[in-house]
Amino acid sequence: MKISTIETKSYVTKSNLPASDYVINPYVGCPHGCKYCYACFMKRFTGHDEPWGTFIDIKKCDKPLNPKQLTGKSVFLSSVTDCYNPYEKEYGITRKILEQLTAIDCELSISTKSNLILRDIDLLKQCKNLKISMSINTLDEQFRMDMDNASSIAERLQTLETLHKNGICVVLFMSPIFPELTDWQAIIERSKDYIDEYWFENLNLRGAYKSTILDYISSNYPNYYDIYKNIYIKGNKDYWVKLSNDIEKYCVQSAINHINYFYHKELVEAKINKTK
């Protein structure tokens, strides 16, 4: 792992994400190294030539957060890194940011794949309007290990349950959903007693990791390769349309609180057009 320290003028960045006004990324890069991570595009702007998941920049900023800037706004921690990656144990950048956010009346969302977030439960309970999401797209631990270096599925589920028991709103972010591999109903049934909301997002393949994932499917799940080829090479969207409808029907019938982000690209474009 290549570790560097960089200076930044501000941790806060204006966001184009559909559900956030601002994003905060305490680190550049992410040791979790998810094979499907869209954030690997960051290498184009940071000058890193190392493979994604093998470098991390520790961002240092002396400027405190501006309460006037964030009050009444939606803030997302984090969009292109995991703010609770393993190096947070040593550097504590996220905790220092969180200490400031507890005093700011904003709508705060935190996304992570790490049970390290439980370290900060004292601060999390002080936040006025907080929602924590944890990505889980499988109950198969071998598949999880093939895809990322983050906390195990059991650890993630336990983390969500612990946060819920402490009065914190928790989201199970089923993302990315892998065609035929993500048993979304089983994940809901396993976790529904302590999940406040489910988010769903389909697997998007683009850039360098498209071939990585397709090669993985071809080698490990060859019986599904034609389905992936139809979706990601031929561009057929029928699979996602049907799955989106199935999820919607199931959640409505089961009174499951949920948001469907299958059409994330369209949501982003709508937000951009709205601000023009």
- To 10 degrees, what angle do helices 238-253 and 225-232 make? 100
Whole-structure pTM value: 0.91
Q: Mapping DSSP to helix (H, G, I), strand (E, B) and coil, where does residue 208 land?
A: coil
Q: What is the end-to-end Cα distance of the chain in Å, rounded?
A: 41
Q: Can you tell me the distance from the alpha carbon of 195 to that of 233, in angstroms, rounded to the nearest whole number? A: 35
pLDDT one-digit tens code per residue, 166-182: 999 999 999 999 999 99
pLDDT at position 187 is 98
**273 pLDDT exceeds 80?**
no
Cis peptide before 179, with omega less than 30 degrees from 0? Answer: no
pLDDT tens, 188-226? 999 999 999 999 999 999 888 899 999 999 999 999 999
